[in-house]
């Protein structure tokens, strides 16, 4: 009996010791439910297991309890509240029941502090708390007052809040070992030993991304207990001495990235022989290998980041002696020369190596790393430079298994994918773009690496078919195989093989057939670019209805036809839709459920019907591009609500009616409405569009005058009003458009004089204000980018340019050199011109026009201009095309025009010019007779007319012309006199009544005259 009792007692004791109390305490369960009510009110999708039942709260998610007492030890309540909720005031009294709590994580909950007397400012009564995380909230400096009684606290994180001011309250936390104050709003050097000198156990201090200056670093030099110091993202301009940082000799981690620290820091760092990790990334430090010699003394160094600086010359060989190195980043510098394999031979512990974006001439073969068994990241992007890789031995087998391999923009001698990749089975990121690869698509690469996340093979010469592995690659999120020579059909099982794909770009290949309907099963797809291929058919209904996450759909330049979308679409996340360059027909479908649309491009199709009014409800629409279709009707008044619009291109359609006066988006930059049937005057449209850079309304039926308010557009660069019915004078307000580069007012009914103030326009070439183009980027996933967390510092490689999905440069159609061209891109930046031809302008050409030294083309032809050609035109130093034909200009052609060395096209045809044409030297030696035709008094060898004989003929002909004119006058006067007399006689002969009245009048006149004479004679006699 005693034996059984002993066994029973032993079992009870074992259970008690092993499992402790069954269930949590009631008071803590109630407290947890109160916490949930506060954190999740009114509705909460978080903490579903926290229910008001008799369940054991120690089994609830995010809760850990003691096995002996059953009390709560750890609470992980981070990211519990939804981002749409308002700030919540932190109430410390809610945690009083958790007397044994050791870890409390409240980060990312939109918590705030309040001055109200509601417990939010009361101190935390948690004597056993060792770790408190309040990061990523909106707490201010008053939170420190509530932490002063946490005597056991070892780790405190207050990063990413709005703290500023004094931190003197932290002095009460004597046991604090780790402190994070990063990403707050502290300014200058407030941190002094007053707040931190009593923290004798402080080992780790995070102060990144604040407003600290160099004096902050100096004051921290007294904290001898520090092992890790993170100051990245502050502005530490200035110098610091070794004496000021003498107590930091025991530092093991020092992060001074993006601080603008001077190169003198290298002399101080070299004495910190305990350093294991050093980051000097993005500081603009420059110099040759001798500057880095001091770093070679740091034999304990494990992580070294010198990226994004200005180091140049060859890499210091002594870096090869740092045999403890695990991570080395030398990317984005100006290192050059030939990298020798001996530099890395001794670095057998390397896990991370980045040498990208330098100017190395050669790089050792990958086989030289064959024995680096720990290597995980090998980053060798060449950028715009040439990096020659030696031919590899095909038989070597690496001892490493890479996770990231980037060999972009390099010249590979073999023209094929490096052979060692056949032995890699754990790759996550592979970038072999821009490497002139000439082989079939490497299906084996995806098959061998089932955890592959990103594959970038764009801009190569890959051939064959895009075959996918039979087994699904569930980790693959991004693939770019654009600009290759791939052909055949897209895999019909793509949604099965790549179920979690987010980014797919297969543009600029030769894929054909229909678009797979299986795209509709890719719920995570964000970006799909199938442009510049040979796809036929229409857009599958499954794609239009089954991709709720799709943001970018680019199907440009294929052979697609039919309706844009089958019946109705359901793409609620769609932001960019580009269907240009296909054969879509019918009306524009209703896309109103894609309310977040930012870009809609259906240009160069056969779309008809009217512009739908629902487009006006797209409040985020920045680019509406629909040229070269068959759209008709007026521009809807609903378009006046497009406040976010930056680019409007409705050119070359059949639109009619007038411009809505309310259409004036404040962000509008480019307007292309040319080639329609718009009528009426330029109303108040665009008057709020102060950033307007391009206004092209050529070839419409617009009338009235050019409005004076045109001068409001101070950034206007391209103004094209050609081919309308504008009349009246050219307003002087045009002279106030100082940034104009192309001005075309031709083929209108403008009259009056040419404003002399046009010389005030600078016509600056190369003007790039950022308004010439709209660039949109695909922000995620950033291709060829990764984040590598080493033990101490974060090594990130992010594609600086992101991924451009649209590049809409401004364009202008302008006639120069006797031909009409489209100017865009770099050609547009360098093109300047004025075209006032085919109007009714009169008067003399203002000599001030000769001051336009930057203008490339000037066309004043087909007007009624008079007077001489100004000699000041010799100041048109950049002129390439000058057309003054079909006017009434007189005088001689100024000889100074031969100084125009860039002049390629010149015409003064059909004027009244005289004298000798300019000498046939320089550019004038290239002009033909047609440049001068229609001026009979011009002479010169080119016109086969002797100038002395021509002058005599001109004088004689001028005299004969005068005699001829006098004879004509006498003959015409005599004939008129006879005609009048005969006419009067005929009338009197025909009409007797008129004849009697006429004779009566004559008798009266004779009698009056006789009486007047007799009276005058008698008066004189007397």
Domain count, the chain: 2
State the average pLDDT over residues 466-494.
94
Phi/psi region, residue 169 (left: phi>0; alpha: psi -120 to 50; beta: rest), is alpha
Last residue of a domain, one of 103, 133, 163: 163
pLDDT band at residue 825 using 50, 70 and 90 as cut-offs: very low
806 within domain boundaries: no
384 within domain boundaries: no
Q: What number of other Cβ atoms are within 10 A of residue 646's Cβ?
A: 22
Last residue of a domain, one of 163, 186, 212: 163
What contacts 13, CB < 8 A, 6 or more positions away? none
What contacts 574, CB < 8 A, 6 or more positions away? 550, 551, 553, 591, 594, 596, 597
- Dump pLDDT digits (tens) for 907-954: 999 999 999 999 888 888 889 999 999 999 999 888 888 887 655 555
pLDDT greater than 70 at residue 956 = no
Q: How far apart are CA 111 and CA 334, in angstroms?
A: 46
SS3 of 337-389: the string is EECCCHHHHCCCCCCEEECCCCEEEEECCHHHHCCCCCCCEEECCCCCCCCEE
- Dump pLDDT digits (tens) for 745-791: 999 999 999 999 988 887 765 443 333 333 233 333 344 455 666 66
Residues facing 881 on adjacent strands: 857, 905
- Dump pLDDT digits (tens) for 88-134: 888 899 999 999 999 999 999 999 987 554 445 678 999 999 999 99
State the average pLDDT over residues 166-187.
92
pLDDT greater than 90 at residue 822 = no
Q: How far apart are CA 305 and CA 230, in angstroms?
A: 14
Q: How far apart are CA 279 and CA 486, in angstroms?
A: 43
185 within domain boundaries: no
User: Which tokens go with 569?
Assistant: 């679409």
pLDDT band at residue 220 using 50, 70 and 90 as cut-offs: confident
The domain in which residue 119 lies consists of: 1-163
pLDDT of residue 784: 43
* Contact (Cβ atoms closer than 8 angstroms) between residue 873 and residue 782: no
375 within domain boundaries: no
- Dump pLDDT digits (tens) for 125-141: 999 999 999 999 999 99
Average pLDDT, the chain: 85
Can you say how many angstroms the Cα of residue 392 is from the centroid of all Cα atoms in its chain?
Answer: 40
pLDDT of residue 1014: 72
128 within domain boundaries: yes
126 within domain boundaries: yes
pLDDT band at residue 198 using 50, 70 and 90 as cut-offs: confident
Count Cβ atoms within 10 A of the Cβ of residue 313 and give its class: 0-12 exposed, 13-18 middle, 19 or more buried: middle
Distance separating the N- and C-terminal Cα atoms of the chain: 188
Q: How far apart are CA 211 and CA 3, in angstroms?
A: 74
Q: Which residue has the tokens 């764009």?
A: 458
Which helix (H) or strand (E) element contains residue 214?
helix 214-220
State the average pLDDT over residues 314-318.
90
331 within domain boundaries: no
Last residue of a domain, one of 135, 163, 191: 163
pLDDT band at residue 1018 using 50, 70 and 90 as cut-offs: low
User: Which tokens go with 321?
Assistant: 């002696």
CATH number of the domain enclosing 114: 3.80.10.10
Q: How far apart are CA 515 and CA 518, in angstroms?
A: 9
651 within domain boundaries: no
421 SS3 class: helix
pLDDT greater than 70 at residue 426 = yes
Q: How far apart are CA 556 and CA 560, in angstroms?
A: 9
């Amino acid at each position: 009996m005693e034996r059984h009792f002993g066994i029973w007692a032993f079992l009870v004791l074992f259970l008690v010791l092993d499992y402790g109390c069954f269930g949590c305490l009631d008071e803590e369960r109630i407290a947890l439910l109160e916490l949930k009510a506060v954190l999740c009110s009114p509705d909460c999708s978080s903490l579903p297991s926290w229910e008001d039942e008799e369940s054991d709260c120690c089994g609830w998610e995010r809760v850990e309890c003691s096995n002996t007492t059953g009390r709560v030890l750890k609470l992980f309540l981070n990211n519990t509240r939804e981002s749409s909720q308002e700030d919540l005031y932190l109430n410390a009294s809610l945690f009083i029941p958790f007397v044994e709590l050791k870890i409390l994580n409240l980060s990312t909950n939109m918590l705030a502090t309040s001055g109200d007397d509601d417990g939010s400012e009361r101190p935390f009564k948690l004597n056993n708390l060792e770790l408190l995380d309040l990061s990523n909230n909106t707490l201010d400096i008053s939170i420190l007052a509530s932490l002063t009684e946490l005597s056991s606290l070892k780790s405190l994180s207050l990063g990413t809040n709005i703290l500023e001011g004094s931190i003197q309250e932290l002095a009460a936390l004597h046991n604090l070992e780790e402190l994070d104050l990063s990403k707050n709003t502290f300014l200058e050097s407030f941190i002094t030993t007053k707040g931190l000198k009593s923290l004798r156990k402080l080992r780790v201090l995070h102060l990144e991304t604040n407003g600290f200056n160099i004096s902050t670093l100096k004051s921290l030099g007294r904290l001898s207990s520090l092992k890790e110091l993170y100051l990245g993202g502050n502005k530490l301009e200035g110098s610091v001495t070794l004496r000021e940082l003498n107590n930091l000799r025991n530092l093991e981690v020092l992060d001074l990235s993006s601080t603008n620290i001077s190169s003198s820091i290298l002399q101080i760092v070299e004495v910190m022989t305990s350093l294991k990790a050093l980051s000097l990334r993005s500081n603009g430090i420059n110099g040759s290998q001798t500057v880095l010699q001091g770093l070679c003394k740091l034999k304990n160094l494990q992580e070294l980041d010198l990226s994004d600086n200005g180091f140049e010359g060859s890499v210091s060989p002594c870096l090869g002696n740092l045999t403890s190195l695990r991570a080395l980043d030398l990317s984005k510098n100006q290192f050059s020369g030939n990298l020798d394999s001996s530099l890395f031979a001794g670095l057998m512990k390397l896990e991370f190596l980045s040498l990208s974006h330098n100017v190395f001439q050669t790089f050792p073969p990958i086989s030289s790393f064959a024995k680096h068994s720990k290597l995980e990241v090998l980053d060798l992007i060449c950028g715009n430079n040439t990096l020659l890789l030696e031919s590899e031995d095909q038989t070597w087998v690496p001892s490493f298994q890479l996770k990231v391999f980037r060999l972009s923009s390099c010249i590979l001698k073999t023209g094929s994918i490096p052979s060692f990749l056949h032995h890699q089975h754990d790759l996550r990121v592979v970038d072999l773009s821009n490497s002139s690869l000439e082989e079939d698509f490497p299906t084996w690469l995806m098959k061998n690496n089932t955890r592959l996340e990103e594959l970038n093979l764009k801009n190569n010469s890959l051939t064959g078919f895009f075959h996918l592995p039979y087994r699904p690659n569930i980790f693959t999120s991004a693939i770019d195989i654009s600009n290759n020579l791939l052909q055949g059909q897209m895999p019909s099982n793509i949604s099965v093989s790549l179920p979690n794909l987010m980014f797919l770009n297969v543009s600029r290949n030769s894929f054909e057939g229909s678009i797979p309907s299986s795209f509709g099963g890719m719920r995570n797809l964000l970006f799909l670019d199938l442009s510049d291929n040979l796809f036929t058919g229409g857009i599958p209904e499954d794609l239009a209805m089954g991709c709720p996450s799709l943001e970018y759909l680019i199907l440009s330049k294929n052979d697609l036809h039919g309706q844009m979308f089958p019946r109705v679409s359901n793409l609620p996340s769609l932001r960019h839709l580009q269907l240009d360059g296909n054969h879509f027909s019918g009306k524009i479908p209703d896309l109103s459920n894609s309310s977040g649309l930012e870009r809609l491009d259906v240009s160069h199709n056969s779309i008809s019907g009217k512009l739908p009014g629902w487009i006006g409800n797209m409040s985020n629409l920045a680019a509406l591009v629909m040229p070269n279709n068959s759209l008709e009707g007026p521009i809807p008044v609903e378009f006046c609500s497009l406040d976010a619009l930056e680019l409007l291109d409705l050119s070359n359609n059949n639109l009619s009616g007038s411009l809505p006066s309310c259409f004036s988006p404040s962000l509008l930059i480019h307007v292309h409405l040319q080639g329609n049937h718009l009528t009426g005057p330029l109303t108040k449209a665009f008057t709020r569009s102060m950033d307007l850079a391009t206004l092209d309304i050529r070839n419409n039926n617009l009338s009235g005058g050019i409005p004076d308010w045109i001068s409001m557009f101070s950034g206007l660069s391209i103004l094209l009003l050609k081919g309308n019915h504008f009349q009246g004078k050219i307003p002087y307000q045009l002279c106030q458009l100082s940034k104009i580069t192309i001005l075309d007012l031709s083929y209108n009914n403008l009259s009056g004089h040419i404003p002399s103030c046009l010389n005030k326009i600078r016509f600056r070439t190369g003007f790039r204000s950022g308004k010439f183009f709209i660039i949109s980027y695909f922000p995620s996933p950033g291709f060829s980018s990764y984040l590598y967390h080493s033990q101490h510092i974060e090594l990130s490689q992010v594609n600086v340019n992101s991924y451009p999905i649209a590049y809409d440069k401004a364009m202008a159609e302008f006639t120069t050199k006797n031909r009409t061209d489209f100017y865009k891109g770099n050609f547009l930046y360098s093109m300047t011109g004025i075209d006032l031809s085919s109007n009714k302008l009169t008067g003399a050409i203002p000599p001030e026009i000769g001051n336009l030294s930057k203008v490339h083309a000037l066309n004043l032809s087909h007007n009624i201009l008079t007077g001489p050609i100004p000699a000041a035109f010799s100041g048109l130093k950049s002129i390439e095309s000058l057309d003054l034909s079909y006017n009434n200009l007189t005088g001689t052609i100024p000889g100074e025009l031969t100084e125009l060395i860039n002049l390629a096209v010149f015409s003064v045809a059909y004027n009244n010019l005289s004298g000798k044409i300019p000498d046939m030297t320089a550019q004038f030696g290239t002009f033909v007779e047609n440049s001068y035709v229609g001026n009979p008094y011009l002479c010169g060898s080119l016109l086969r007319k002797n100038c002395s004989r021509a002058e005599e003929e001109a004088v004689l002909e001028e005299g004969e012309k005068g005699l001829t004119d006098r004879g004509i006058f006498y003959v015409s006067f005599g004939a008129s006199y006879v005609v009048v007399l005969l006419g009067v006689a005929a009338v009197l002969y025909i009409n007797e009544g008129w004849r009697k009245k006429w004779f009566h009048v004559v008798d009266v006149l004779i009698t009056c005259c006789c009486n007047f004479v007799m009276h005058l004679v008698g008066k004189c006699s007397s």
